[in-house]
């Protein structure tokens, strides 16, 4: 049997990037899942900001940053005949 080669990892981890996007429509969430739309551009801006901050503090080592997205689906408004009626 051969011994596993010992490789030193040059990756270091940073605290996660947590982004709360709030309540959004179903359409926007679907676009986000596909990697498109306004929400994706908002996320890309925040990732680029973090990358620019890390470039200044880290030399040649690779840094892994977990990204956590919090999105809540908006409730649909009732559109029917009984919309304006109150009990």
Mean local confidence (pLDDT), 39-61: 79
**pTM greater than the 0.85 cutoff:** no
The answer to whether residue 81 is domain-embedded is no
CA atoms within 13 A on the CB side of 37: 13
The answer to whether residue 53 is domain-embedded is yes
With cut-offs at 50, 70 and 90, classify the pLDDT of residue 66: confident
The answer to whether residue 47 is domain-embedded is yes
Q: Which domain holds residue 40?
A: 34-74
- Measured CA to CA, the distance from residue 67 to residue 63 in angstroms comes to 13
Residue 25 reports pLDDT greater than 70: yes
- Measured CA to CA, the distance from residue 3 to residue 62 in angstroms comes to 27
The answer to whether residue 45 is domain-embedded is yes
What is the residue whose two structure tokens read 């109150």?
A: 86
**Helices 26-34 & 37-57, crossing angle to 10 degrees?**
50
Check residue 58 and give its pLDDT. 62
């Amino acid at each position: 049997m051969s011994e596993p080669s010992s490789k030193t990892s040059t990756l270091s981890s940073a605290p996660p990037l947590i982004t709360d996007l709030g309540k959004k429509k179903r359409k926007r969430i679907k676009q986000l899942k596909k990697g498109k739309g306004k929400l994706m551009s908002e996320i890309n801006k925040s990732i680029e900001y973090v990358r620019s901050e890390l470039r200044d503090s880290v030399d040649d080592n690779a840094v892994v940053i977990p990204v956590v997205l919090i999105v809540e689906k908006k409730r649909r408004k009732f559109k029917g005949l009984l919309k304006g009626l109150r009990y």
